[in-house]
Structure 1
Amino acid sequence: MLPALFVAHGAPLLAIENNVYTKFLNSLGHSLPKPKAIVLFSAHWESSVQKVSNVDEFETIYDFGGFPEALYRIKYPASGDETITKEITELFAKQGVPFEVNTARGLDHGAWVVLRLLYPHADIPVISMSVNPRLSPEEQYKIGSSLSSLREKDMLIIASGGTVHNLGALRMAGDNGKVDQWALDFDMWLEKKISNWDVESLFKYDTLAPNADFAVPPYGNEHFIPLFYAMGSADQEKSAKLLHRSYRYGNLSHSVWQFGELK
């Protein structure tokens, strides 16, 4: 059985950088058994109804602007898997989760930046999944839990986003290694609640966590909520492990959480 992962995708520049975080993701990909498939929830694919991809080969979406030309030359031509898409939709139907199948959308940078660092050869089938910020955390968690059986079949569930993601607070020009205390305080609260699997508190993070309105601003909660999808897929085990945490630009968190055990 493979664990589930919450992986911060950071800024698009990660795709062409060589730093402590990119090196960690490279090594993480090597440390896990090769998955049969990857089911990936991306913060950059929002929809009011759960979307499930059914694509033969994904196009690479450059959903950003003003970055070096090298980024726009990167391709990640992962393939889909119609059989696994069907299995996912059957699980959703069984659990009463509304869904729609999408046959056209490519992989956004929340997906391909992470996938390329973990599995650079694009040789593992990918099923791309949307997230819905308008759902409650309990509902997002339930969607993840409905897919828990996929992990028993050596499929890797990844949720891509970021625990602290406030674009208005970033210091892109002053990336000097100093981390804002408000970001640290939020992540420390989060670490305690996740490690203890205190979902009752986590579901109310917006009112209980210190600096929640700054760490997860109302316009940016789509980056935080993938955490609940990944966590839900390990509901039967209720085990969590912080694998990595570092910061860029003063407060942009690069957190990687593992949910469930590798068995």
Structure 2
Amino acid sequence: MMPSLFIAHGAPSLALEENAYTEFLQKLGQDLPKPKAIVLFSAHWESTTQLVSAVTGSYDTIYDFGGFQPELYQIKYPAQGHAETTAEIIKVFTEAGISVQTDEVRGLDHGAWVVLRLLYPEADIPVIALSVNRYLTGEQQYQVGQALASLREQNVLVIGSGGTVHNLRRLNWESQGVDSWAMEFDSWLQDKLEHWDTDALFAYDKLAPSAQAAVPTPEHFVPILIAMGAGDEKKQASLLFRAYQLGNLSLSCWRFE
């Protein structure tokens, strides 16, 4: 059975970087069994209704950022959609009572293509992009992932792309170390994920240290709850990688069985 993953996508410039994290993601893509399709929730596609991509040809590459290196705007990631998996997603969401709509035109934003390009640089695996809804409760986010758990048995890889500590206003451009508050939040998160303490995780904004600094808005955090929900059957969480850039921007990867 395929795992589900949470992968921090960092800044768009990650696509051009060569560091321990990009090397890790490249190796991860090589080590995983090749999936039939990838289902990816990006923090940069938000909607109050669950949207599922129904692109039939190649995705356009969306450059939803400004002020970065010119080379970034030349990158293409022409992955294909996958009608069979889109139909299966609609089926399991409907059975779970989750309202869902399709989107036939939207391309892949940087939360999707930066990660996918590092994992699968040939863009030879079909992709189904899904939106996130910041207004759902933590339990509802988990249930979105839970509804997709059966796809893992069909060799489909479920990925939540976001960031556990993601506060652009608190980035420290001069820092050579890691801010203590960011590490405290991620350490709390690690403990709750490894013990599968959903009650605490669903109330992270009230219980976790430095939660407001780490997660000023929830759209980058909720993909980890979705990915976790997809691993509900065995309830096993493993931290595969963690590092930080600019003092507190977390680059982490979690695997859920």
**Shorter-normalised TM-score: what interval?**
over 0.9
CA shift for structure 1 position 171 = 2.0
What is aligned with 2:24? 24
CA deviation map 1:168-216 (0-9, x unaligned): 00023x252x000000000000000000000000000000000001000
Q: What secondary structure, in the 3-state scheme, does the structure 2 residue paired with 1:105 have?
A: coil
Q: Unmatched 5+ residue regions in structure 2? A: none
Q: What secondary structure, in the 3-state scheme, does the structure 2 residue paired with 1:84 have?
A: helix
What is the CA–CA distance in structure 2 between the aligned matches of 1:29 and 1:45, rounded to whole Å?
23
CA shift for structure 1 position 83 = 1.2
What is aligned with 1:247? 244
CA deviation map 1:105-141 (0-9, x unaligned): 0000000000000000000000000000000010010
What is aligned with 1:228? 225
CA shift for structure 1 position 236 = 1.0
Q: Unmatched 5+ residue regions in structure 1? A: none
What is the CA–CA distance in structure 1 between the aligned matches of 2:94 and 2:114, rounded to whole Å?
31
Q: What secondary structure, in the 3-state scheme, does the structure 2 residue paired with 1:76 have?
A: coil
CA shift for structure 1 position 66 = 0.2
CA deviation map 1:5-60 (0-9, x unaligned): 00000001100010011001001001101100000000000000000001021000
Q: Does 1:256 align with 2:253?
A: yes
Q: What secondary structure, in the 3-state scheme, does the structure 2 residue paired with 1:91 have?
A: helix
RMSD (Å), alpha carbons: 0.6
Q: How does 1:46-195 map to 2 (within 5 A)?
A: 46-55=46-55, 56-172=57-173, 174-176=174-176, 178-195=177-194
What is the CA–CA distance in structure 2 between the aligned matches of 1:230 and 1:73, rounded to whole Å?
30
Amino acid at match of 1:49: T
Q: Which runs of 4+ in 1 moved over 6 A?
A: none
Q: What secondary structure, in the 3-state scheme, does the structure 1 residue paired with 2:114 have?
A: helix
What is the CA–CA distance in structure 2 between the aligned matches of 1:74 and 1:189, rounded to whole Å?
37
Q: What secondary structure, in the 3-state scheme, does the structure 2 residue paired with 1:116 have?
A: helix
What is the CA–CA distance in structure 1 between the aligned matches of 2:67 and 2:175, rounded to whole Å?
18
What is the CA–CA distance in structure 1 between the aligned matches of 2:66 and 2:98, rounded to whole Å?
35
